[in-house]
Amino acid sequence: MFSILLQAPAGSNVSMLYNVLLWVGIIGVFYFFMIRPQQKKQKDQKSFIDNLKKGDNVVTIGGLHGRVASIEGSTVTLEVDRGVKMTFERSSISREASVKPADSDKKE
């Protein structure tokens, strides 16, 4: 009984074509919704790190906020308070610190 269910019918070329199209569709959706956005995010992050300049307000991966005091090769010196400077790897800079939240512009 089970051997009858496992055997493909003689005209299964259409069925095989639908299976191939289904897998191509799944891979396409996976690429456009998972892989491509991640690649774009990595490209934007690399561009941000490469374009750091003195005076930028940034946040490190660990959550430390500071202003870029100097950049030397692969290290960045952040001024976290007046006279307090810390040195980080360039790759540990996560994002630019927002000057003010977007909602603070709106007045009720």
User: pLDDT (tens digit, 9 = 90+) per residue, 8-65?
Assistant: 555 578 888 899 999 999 999 999 999 999 999 999 989 989 888 898 899 999 889 9
Provide the H-helix boundaries in the chain. Answer: 2-6, 13-30, 36-50
Domain around 38 = 12-51
Residue 39 inside a domain? The answer is yes
User: What distance in Å separates the CA atoms of residue 90 and residue 30, rounded to the nearest whole number?
Assistant: 32
- Identify the pLDDT of residue 43: 93
Residue 41 inside a domain? The answer is yes
User: What distance in Å separates the CA atoms of residue 39 and residue 99, rounded to the nearest whole number?
Assistant: 27
User: What distance in Å separates the CA atoms of residue 9 and residue 29, rounded to the nearest whole number?
Assistant: 30
Residue 4 inside a domain? The answer is no
Number of domains in the chain: 2
Is the sign of the CA dihedral 65, 67, 72, 74 positive or negative?
positive
Q: Are residues 72 and 59 part of one domain?
A: yes
What is the mean pLDDT of the segment spanning 64-83? 91
What is the mean pLDDT of the segment spanning 78-102? 82
